[in-house]
Each structure stands twice: as C-alpha cells, then as structure tokens.
Structure 1
Amino acid sequence: MKQVASDTLGFVPQKDIVYNKLLPYADKLDSESNDILAKIKGNLSRAVQLRELWPGVLFWTRRLSTYMRLYGRKFSKEDHVLFIKLLYELVTIPKLEISMMQGLARLLINLLKKRELLSREDLELPWRPLYELQERILYSKTEHLGLNWFPNSVENVLKTLVKSCRPYFPESATQEMLEEWRPLLCPFDVTMQRAISYFDLFLPTTLPPHLHHKGFKLWFDELTGLWASVQNLPSWEVHLVNLFARLANDNIGYINWDPYIPKIFTRILRSLNLPVGSSQMLVQRYAANAYDISHVVLWVSSLLGGPSQQAQAQLSGLFNSITSFFHPSNHGRWLMKLMKLLQRLPAAVVRRLHRERYRKPTWLTPVPESHKLTEQNITDFVQSMMQPVLLAMFSKTGSLDAAQALQNLALMRPELVIPPVLEKTYPAMETLTEPHQLTATLSCMIGVARSLVSGGQRFPEGPTHMLPLLVRALPGVDPNDFSKCMITFQFIATFVTLVPLVDCSSALHERTDLTEVERKLCSASAEFEDFCFPQKMDRRFSITDALFTFYFL
C-alpha cells in the first residue's frame, strides 16, 4: 500500500488517515492533498523569510493544522522533520506573544505525538531553548507585579511540549542538565522543589542501551539515595517518584530495582494515607503531597516479571494489607485514592502486555525476553487483585471503578474473573429487595461482557450464560426505579450489540463437527425469537416490551 501511495503522491506518507479511502471521492484526494500541501509549504516558508508572523505564519500554520485533521500526517519523513524544526524555532522565539506561542506549541505537539514515526537518528532537538522558555514564563519575576500576564493553560501546554520533545534531546543533554541544576539540590532550600521538578520534566529516559552510561546512570544512584534518605514526604518527592516511574517504564529489564522494591511498596502504602489504630488517626501532611496514582501504577506494572518475582510478592502483600478498606461499610477521603489504584493498575498491566506481545516493533527500546510477563505472572497478578475488586463492587462510591478493573482483568484471565462475578449476579437477579446489589452486579457484568461472549480457550462456556442472563434481566425494566431501569437497558444493549440474535438451531442437523458448547449455543438460539416476541410462550415480559417501556420513559 505504501508503494502504491508513493507512486501516486511522489513520496511515502508518514501516516495518513486510512478511512479516507472509503470516501466516494477517494480517487481525487491524492491530487487535492498534494496541491494543499504544496501551498502550505511554499507560503509558510515565504512568510518565515519575510518575518511576517501575523497574519502570514499564523494563517499558514493553522492551514497545516487543518490539513493534518483532514488527511493525517500525509507528508514525507523529510517534510515531517522540516516542519518540526521550523515550528520549534518559531515557538522558542524570545518575547513571542503568548497566544501565538501556545498555538504553535499545540501544532508542534501534534507533529511529535507519534513517536514511532521519527527515531533519534531522524531528529534532534536542543533542550536549552525550552528550559529558557519555561524559566521566562513559569518563573517570571514580573508577573506577580502585574507587568506580565500569562493564561492558566500555558503551564500545561509548555510541559506537554517538553514531554513531546524529550525523546529527541541529544546524547549530551543529561550531563548538561545535571551541571545546570545539581547546584540547586539542597533539601533545606526552596530551590530543591525547582530542581527536582526540572529533573522530572526534562531528563531523557528513552536512550538506547548502549547510551545508558550517558543517560540515567549519571544520576540514578544519586537520586535514589536522595529519595531513600527522606521520610517526611516532602513536596518534591512526588516529582522523584514520577521520574522513577517513567524511567522504569522506558527501561524494563535494564535496571535492577530489587534492592528498592520493599521500600517502594512501603512508601506507596504510606502515601495512601489510610486511617490506622483504634482512634483512626490520619497524618494530614501526607494528604497534600501524596504520590500520583497514575505514576504509581506505571511504576508497579513496570516492576512485575523478571527472574526474582519480588515485585509480585510485595504487591500481593500490599493488597492483603488494604483489602479490608474496600469493604462497602468503609468510607472516607482515602477511599477515592484506593479506587483509583484498583481501577488503573489492571489497565497499566494490559498496556504493558500489549506493548510486549502485540505492538509493532519501533526504534524504542524493546523489553528483553527475560523480563517479559509470563502466563504465571499474569495469573498471580489477577489472583492478588480479585478479592479487593469483588469487595469494591458494592462500594459507596459506586461500582464503575470495580467494573473497569474487572474488564481489564477479564481480558487477561476470564476463567478467574467471570465465574465469581456470575456467582454474585444470578442471586442478585432473583431478589427484589436489594436493587443496589442488582445495579452493581449488572454494571460489572457489562464490563466483562466482551470476555464472556467471546468464549475462547480459557473460558469456552462463557457464551452459554448470555441468554439466561438476558432473560433474568428483563424484570429489571422497572419505570419506578430509574437507576435499575437504565442499567438494565445498558446491560441488554451491550449484549445484543456484541452478539447477533439469529436462530441457528438448524445447524444441529446440518453440521457434525460442532463442539458441545457450540451445540448448546445452537439449541439455545432457538429461544431468541421467544426472547424478543413471546407469543408462543407464557411469559409476561419480553425485550420488545422493555424497548416500548424505554420509549415511553
């Protein structure tokens, strides 16, 4: 396909929008996009040469942004690199108007978003202009006097820009950054926060293994020693944890974390700020400086696997110690943080599995075979999380977090996740006096619906539960209980979207190669018509009645 595109366009496109090929005028798009791109390149370069920032550069950069929305990155690698370098120079112009700088920065972020398209050999960007831009705006000496005004969104735009440019910093950048900010490292001074935040934001962690001596090995021992020496959770420790999490995720298998794993999980448990003792004592100073859960789960998911298996043992111990806090009778400010941990950790492990097994190889450092997650690693992880997740199904904060956790766990091990959920769902559908239990279990069943109906080798009997669940869910369509009615409709809609309702009972007589589960499914499919239109059966309610009830609501 790329060869055909290159013959038509005259270059190999970086990454165009494949759905454009389905448009009725798809044969005209190549010539149209070539004309637009030629105008953008010619007029943008002319505006830059004439130093016409407004309206020339502003107009044609917006046209480039529109071009990317319509056609994707439908330009050659050489043009891609030149666009990035041009916009980088424009963004870092001294004293550039803030609104224009933000617009150019957002376009540059969009160009850098797909890291797999450009390797370090294709592109190199200096780090110091971005540092000077951060200093001038985020640490302005005149803004508090009212002499300058910066919008609230500029900080997030600048930080996202640095994160996008970070993989392309030169090899010498780490040493230069250490020389610049190491003198600010004083735990008893406010400059400590500034230095660690810069380390967290700027230090590159995606260098290839043969350049590690120019990368994280220059600062790893120093910063880990600093992190281990503090016990009172200062505000700058959060930035150190963010840096370590990113480093662990980008270099799985190349760093020995075993000496630090017990302390890592101890600090994570401490930062959850759980009530302890008979007086339910809370240390309030930990609440403001607690670790960011998104970086905690990234760090933990990167530590799993490997020869030692120490991280999994510590993770199991962590969940054993906090499982009782997920009980539905418990409630407090700390519960939201626990639910975030429960919801995001399985998602982080699923992303790592996708990276190791399914993602196409890129220039980024791959995970070595010795540290890839094995089937036993996945089983141990799922088993360690099942008890707190099943308790969290009925939490006072709602069942959404537990449903999302079960969805990701079921993708990895449906045979361990779905049966316990079914054991709670069937009794909840039979009782009429506990509607909250029905609402929670149906929400979790919606989460595991895809893994249930897909069956597969791990849970082949899953599809046989679909029709009994649909039939038992029909009484839940109760206009007097709006929440139960809505979750029931969502439940029915999810299943009938995933599975076509077709009568396949004739296949029992025509095919001889069906498995036992497939025979059960074919015989059960004869009831689909009765499920939708129950004239032949003595049933008071059907899916058609349910839809009419929903219409009149």
Structure 2
Amino acid sequence: MKKIQAETLGFVPQKDIVYNKLLPYADKLDNESNDILARIKGNLGRAVQLRELWPGVLFWTRKLSTYLRLYGRKFSKEDHVLFVKLLYELVTIPNLEISMMQSFARLLINLLKKKELLSQDDLELPWRPLYELYEKILYSKTEHLGLNWFPNSVENVLKTLVKSCRLYFPVSATQEMLDEWRPLLCPFDVTMQKAISYFELFLPTILPPELHHKGFKLWFDELMGLWVSVQNLPSWEGSLVNLFARLANNNIGYVNWDPYIPKIFTRVLRSFNLPVGTSQMVVPRYMTNSYDIGHVVLWISSMLGGAENPAQKQLNGLFSSIASFYHPSNNGRWLVKLMKLLQRLPASVVRRLHRERYKKPCWITPIPTSHRLTDDDVTHFVESMKQPVLMAMFSKTGSMDAAQALQNLALMRPELVIPPVLEKTYPAMETLTEPHQLTATLSCMIGMARSLLSGGHHYPEGPAHVLPLLMRALPGVDPNDFSKCMVCLDILDNAYMAPPCNLYIKISGRLSAFLLHMAA
C-alpha cells in the first residue's frame, strides 16, 4: 500500500492521517492533496521572494496549517525540512509584528511536534536568533514605559517554540550558551534567576552518547554542585530542578545520579512543606518556592532501575515517612502536593515502561538494557506505593487522585493492587451507613476496570469478580443519592463498554428490567 501511494504521490509521505483511508472518496485524496500542496509551495515561495508578508505569506501559511489538519504531514522529508527552515526564518525576522510572529511560531511548533520524523542529521537550527527574540520580548526595556505592548500569550508561545527547536541546535550550542550566560551566575544577584531560566529553557539535552562530552557534561558538575551547596530554597532552584529532570528523562542510563540520590529525595521531602513537631510548625518561606511536582516525578521515575536500584530504596523511605499524612483524618495545604505526587508518579513510570518496551524505535538513543526496568523493579515500585494509595482512597480531597494512581498501578501489577481494593469494595456495597466508603471504593474500581476485565496471566481471576460487582451495584442506582447513583451507573457503563463477554449476557435481562423500573 505504501509503495502504491508513493508512486501516486511521487514521494514517501512523512506521516499522513490514517483515518482518511476510511473515507468513501479515499482514492481521490492523493491527487487532491498533491494539487493543494503544489499550490501552497508555489505561492508561498513566490510571496516570500516578493517579500509580501501581508497578505501573501500569512495567507499561504494559514493554508499550510489547514493542510496539516486535513492531511497530516503528507509531504516528503525534503519538503518538511524546507518548510521548517522557511518558518524559522520568518519567525526570526527583526521587528516583525507580534501577531504575525505568533502565527508563524504556532505553525512551526506544529511542524516540529513529531520529533521522530526529523533527526538531528536532517535539520539544524541556530539558537541565537531565538535567544535574541526571547530577550527582546520578555525582557523588554520599553514595555513598562508603555512604548510596546505584548499579548499575554506570547510568553507561552515563545517557550513552546524554544522547546520544539532546541532538539535541533548545533552541537557547539551548549558551549556557546555557557559562554553567554555563565557570567550571570551569581547567587547574590537578581541575574541568577535569569541565567538559570535561560539554561532550563535553551540547553539541549538530547545528543548521541559519543557527543555527551560536548553536551551536558560541560555543565552538569558545575550546576549540580551549585544546587547542592545552596540550602535556603531560592527562587531559581525550581528551574534548576526542572533542568535536571529533563536531563534525567532524556539520558536514562548515561548520567550517574547515585552520589546525589539521598540529597535529591531529602530536598523533595522538604519541598512538600509538611508540618513537623508538636507545634506543627511550618516555615513560611518554603511555601512559594517549592518544586514543580510534574518535574519531580519525572526525575524520580527516570532514576529508577540499575544494578542495585538505589532510587527505589530512597523512594521506599520517602513513602514510609509520608504515609501517615495520607490518612483520611489529615488535611492541609500540603495535602494537595502529596496527592499530586501519588497521582502522577505511577503515570510517569507507565510512560517509561511504554518507552522501553513498546514504543517504536527511532533515531533517538534508546535506554540501555542495563538500566531498563525489570519485572522485579516494577513489583518493588508498586509495593512501595500500595499502602499510601489505599489510605488516600478515603481522603477529604476526594478519591479521584487515588483512583488514577490505582489505574496505573493496576496496569503494571494488577495482582498486587486489585485484591485489597476488592476487599474494601464488597463490604462497602453491603453496608447502608457509610455511603462515602461506597462511592470512594467504586470510583477506584472504575479506574481499574480495564485491568480487572482483561484478566491475563497476571490476574486471571479478574473477570470472575465482574458479575458479583455488577449485581451488587444494581441497588445503588438510587435517584435519591445522586453521587452514589452516578458511580454505580459508571461502573455498569464501564462493564458494558468492554469487549463482548458471555458473562454479561446473564445479567442483561435483569439490568434492563431494573433500569426500566427506575425510569418509570
């Protein structure tokens, strides 16, 4: 099929939309897309040669954006590279109108979104024009005087653009950035925040292993020593942690974190700002400059694995020390961060397992076999999180965070997670005096429905619990208790939306009669 399509188009498409093949006029799409693409290329090139930004270039870049929505990246790799280079030159035009720059930037971000399509050998983009544009807009000397006006969305657009382009910065970019911003590194000056934010945003962290000496090894020891030496949680420390988390995620197995792992988990624990002592003292200066939980879980999940798995040992200690804070009787501002940690950490480990075991290989360096997560590593991870998650099911902030955590834990090890939740669910469905327990446990069962129904060699007895759960859920469809009614309908919906199974035919008649009676 691909050979026939390539003969019709005249090139091998980068990545088209597969669902277009299901359309009734799918046989006409190749000729139609070829005609539209030829007009876009011809008119866009002509408008650029004539320097007609408005309406020519802007009109045909919007046509290209529409083409991407309708047909995907249905053009050759050579055209893809040329489109990216052209849009990059348009974005970095000096004194370009902000609205026009944002339009070009969003299209360029869309072209660079699938990083597996273009390798670093196919494309190289200079970093300095982006830096000058970022400096001019975000650190403008005239905006506060009212001489310039920038929309609120321009900062996010520029940051996303830099994140998309930094993968294709030249190898020499790291040393050039260090020469440019290292003079700003003074912990006692306001320029420190600016320098660290630039490092976090611009430094490339994806390079082949043979080029690491020109990449992160130029700055890792220096910035890590700076982070270890500073103890008062300054405002720039969060940006530094974000940089380390990105480095760890992009270079699993190539960075030696072992000497710093105890310090890392100590700092993470301190950033939660938990009440300590008999007076429940909280240090107020730690309230604002805490770490971003999304980057913290990325950092932790990237350090797991290895010969002795030291990160897992520290993670066990971390959850042992904070387990009591997940008790349903506890509440406070710190609980929000703890629940986010509980929700996002299993999801991050699931993404890493997908990357290691199932993701299609591309030009990006894969994770070494020695540092991939084994079945024992996954089991230890699930065991370390099981107890806090089971307590968090009945938290005062709700059970949704615990349900999402249990969903991801059940994808990894259903035999460890599903049985204790079932032990809490069956008694909750029999009692009439604790409706909160019923809604919390059923919400968690809904999250684990896929793992329960699929069975498999890890938990083959899972489907046997479906019929008893559904039969016990029928009386819960009570319009007088709206929350309980919705949860019971959700679990029925999840069961019936699963792949067909003869098990459900047994209760279909009872369920239909029951629902008709409730509707009447």
TM-score (norm 1): 0.93
1:59-100 CA-partner distances (Å, limit 9, x unpaired)? 111110000000000000000000000000000111111111
- Aligned with residue 508 of structure 2, among 509, 519, 532: 532
**Distance in 2 separating the partners of 1:99 and 1:431:** 61
- Give the drift of 1:379: 0.2
Match of 1:255 in 2: 255
**How many Å apart are 1:365 and its aligned residue?**
1.4
* Cα distance in 2 between the residues matched to 1:494 and 1:222: 52
**Letter of the structure 2 residue corresponding to residue 447 of structure 1:** G
- Residue 506 of structure 1 is matched in structure 2 by none
Written as runs of structure 1 = structure 2, the 5 A alignment for 1:316-355 is 316-355=316-355
Give runs of aligned pairs for residues 447-526 of structure 1, distance below 5 A: 447-500=447-500, 502=502, 525=503
Q: Does 1:545 align with 2:510?
A: no
Amino acid at match of 1:294: G
Q: For residue 410 of structure 2, what is the aligned residue in structure 1?
A: 410
Kindly state the Cα deviation for residue 278 of structure 1 after the two structures are TM-superposed. Answer: 1.0
Instruction: Summarize the alignment of residues 277-356 of structure 1 with structure 2, pairs less than 5 Å apart.
Output: 277-356=277-356
Gaps of 5+ in 2: none
| 2:109 equivalent in structure 1 | 109
Provide the alpha-carbon RMSD of the alignment. Answer: 1.0
The match for 2:123 is: 123
Which consecutive unaligned segments of at least 5 residues does structure 1 have?
503-524, 535-541
> 2 CA distance for matches of 1:272 and 1:3?
56
Q: Which is further off, 264-273 or 491-500?
A: 491-500
For residues 2 and 156 of structure 1, what CA distance do their matches in structure 2 show? 38
Aligned to 1:442: 442
Output the amino acid matched with 2:38.
A
Counterpart residue type for residue 113 of structure 2: K
Cα deviation, residue 309, structure 1: 1.2
Q: Which residue of 2 aligns with 1:244?
A: 244
Matched, 1:375 2:352: no
1:354-365 aligned within 5 A: 354-365=354-365
Q: For 1:95 and 1:287, locate their aligned partners in 2 and report how far apart those are by CA, in whole Å.
A: 40
CA distance in 2, matches of 1:548, 1:235: 61
User: Does residue 399 of structure 2 align to residue 399 of structure 1?
Assistant: yes
What amino acid sits opposite 1:533 in the alignment?
A: G
* 1:516 alignment counterpart: none
The residue number in structure 2 matching 1:220 is 220
- Structure 1 residue 408: deviation in Å? 0.4
- Which amino acid counterpart does residue 73 of structure 1 have in structure 2? R
Mapped to 1, the partners of 2:384 and 2:443 lie a distance apart of 22
Equivalent residue number for residue 20 of structure 1: 20
Structure 1 position 543, deviation (Å): 4.3
Aligned-residue offset at 1:548: 6.0
Name the amino acid aligned to 1:532. S
Whole-Å separation in 2 of the counterparts to 1:261 and 1:486: 44
Over 3 Å counting, the alpha-carbon distance change for 1:547 and 1:424 in structure 2 is farther
Q: Distance in 2 between matches of 1:72 and 1:251?
A: 30
Cα deviation 1:228-285 (Å, max 9, x = unaligned): 0000100100011000000011111111100000000000000011111111111111
Q: Distance in 1 between matches of 2:517 and 2:38?
A: 56
Q: Aligned equivalents of 1:6 and 1:457: distance in 2?
A: 42
Alpha-carbon distance in structure 2 between the residues aligned to 1:396 and 1:95: 53
Paired residue secondary structure (1:157): helix
What one-letter code is carried by the residue in structure 1 that aligns with 2:413?
A: R
Equivalence for 1:177: 177
Q: Provide the secondary structure at the position in 2 that maps to 1:338.
A: helix
CA distance in 1 between partners of 2:27 and 2:505 (Å): 44
Identity percentage over the alignment?
79
Instruction: Look up the SS of the partner of 1:95 in the other structure.
Output: coil
How many residues align? The count is 520
In structure 2, C-alpha distance between the alignment counterparts of 1:401 and 1:408, rounded to whole Å: 11
* Residue 73 (1) aligns with residue 49 (2): no
CA distance in 1, matches of 2:346, 2:37: 43
CA distance in 2, matches of 1:372, 1:190: 41
Q: Once the 2 structures are TM-superposed, how far is the Cα of residue 4 of structure 1 from its aligned partner?
A: 2.2
Note closer, same or farther for the CA distance 1:461–1:196 as it changes in structure 2 (3 Å cut).
same
The aligned residue for residue 432 of structure 2 is: 432
CA distance in 1, matches of 2:193, 2:512: 60
> What letter is aligned with 1:10?
G
Q: 2: CA distance between counterparts of 1:493 and 1:438?
A: 17
Matched ranges for 1:53-202 at <5 A: 53-202=53-202
- The one-letter code of the counterpart of 1:135 is E
Is contact 1:474-1:543 (8 Å) kept?
Answer: no
8 Å CA contact retained: 1:181, 1:195: yes
State the alpha-carbon separation in 2 of the partners of residues 543 and 212 from structure 1: 64
CA–CA distance in structure 2, aligned partners of residues 442 and 242 of structure 1: 36
The SS at the match of 1:433 is coil
Query: 1:142 and 1:373, CA in 2 relative to 1: closer, same or farther beyond 3 A?
Result: same
SS of the residue 2:149 aligns to: coil
